[in-house]
Amino acid sequence: MAINNSNCLLISLTFFLIAFGSNHANGEVLKVGFYHKTCPHVELIVKGIIDDVISRVPSLAAPLLRMHYHDCFVRGCDGSVLLDSPTKQAEKDSIPNLSLRGYQIIDKVKTALEKSCPGVVSCADIVALVARDVTVAVKGPSWEVETGRRDGSVSNITEALFNLIPPFANITSLKQGFLQRGLSVKDLVVLSGSHTIGISHCSSFNNRIYNFTGKGDTDPSLDPNYIKNLKKKCLPNDQNTLVEMDPGSVRTFDTSYYKLVAKRRGLFTSDSALLDDSETKDYLKKQGINQYGSTFFKDFGESMVKMGRVQVLTGNQGEIRKVCSRVN
């Protein structure tokens, strides 16, 4: 998935342009149940908090899922997206991350876990667990989350700015971004499906409906009727209005995103780009047609596990932060 460089609120898959790292760092591996002995109730604690939060504020599901993507695709899944900088030079201060929300929920989970198991559970693992639980809370799939990540100590605004793929990325850039991270073309189209609960500012796609080539034209890859509907919601140069990526289903995790893209109603260029590759096009059309025979939920869990292994710190690497927004 692409990232909105103009304060997009959608759940977007983002990518870092640094070498992919495995989950076998430092001789240690991620595994399901890593905290079985040291913090046996970790998943129950996280789920209890998230179920309560999403029942009251369902709009937080999308940004909390998106947060895991943003963490993993800059410096790997090390919790660096959570770090504060007194000079506003951290990842969270970068333009693509300015619309991230839900940091206070991560802090709430961390506080509860520190009370139950002081100094045991990493912030990086909390982000991964929360991503799974918010997905389930909006009727999406569940999967077993591997844990054992440790927290990084570096967070750089420039790395986030230049390593996140924008919403206007074409299929070549998208495939290259995934493959460089050890993620497949199938992972690309599967994880793009999380746009089913995404929303975006008009500024992220206004050029597609008003000035695609700089001549006051529209993007020919978009359905003309869809363009008309978007123009009713977004005026030229509109920076603030929000639009649902999956109208009518924005708070339910399902396969309807694929149906829309197949009908040439993908909001971003990077959504429409999935029709420009035979493998991604075939997948989205199959998922959109076969709602009850769809493999999307199963595939999504598998791809999330793969993404969660990107360049992790384990063993003696990194640290376990006491507070997620600052290093120890």
Residue set of the binding site for Ca(2+): 71, 74, 76, 78, 80, 91, 196, 246, 254
DSSP label of 165: P
Catalytic residue chosen out of the listed positions 36, 68, 70, 201: 70
The residue behind tokens 């939060």 is: 53
The residue among 109, 139, 145, 134 whose CA lies nearest residue 23 is 145
* Residues 220, 221, 225, 231, CA torsion sign: negative
Cα(170)–Cα(156) distance, integer angstroms: 26
Largest CA distance in the chain: 63
Burial status of residue 47 (CB atoms within 10 A of its CB: 0-12, 13-18, 19 or more): middle
Cα(73)–Cα(320) distance, integer angstroms: 20
Cα(174)–Cα(14) distance, integer angstroms: 10
E strands in 19-154: none
Find all residues with CB under 8 Å of 119, minimum gap 6, and list them.
Answer: 320, 322
Count other C-beta atoms under 10 Å from residue 89's C-beta: 12
Identify the H or E element spanning 200. strand 199-201
Cα(69)–Cα(72) distance, integer angstroms: 5
The question of whether 70 is a catalytic residue gets the answer yes
Rounded (10°) CA dihedral 156, 159, 162, 163: -140
Cα(322)–Cα(272) distance, integer angstroms: 42
- Supply the residues annotated as catalytic: 70
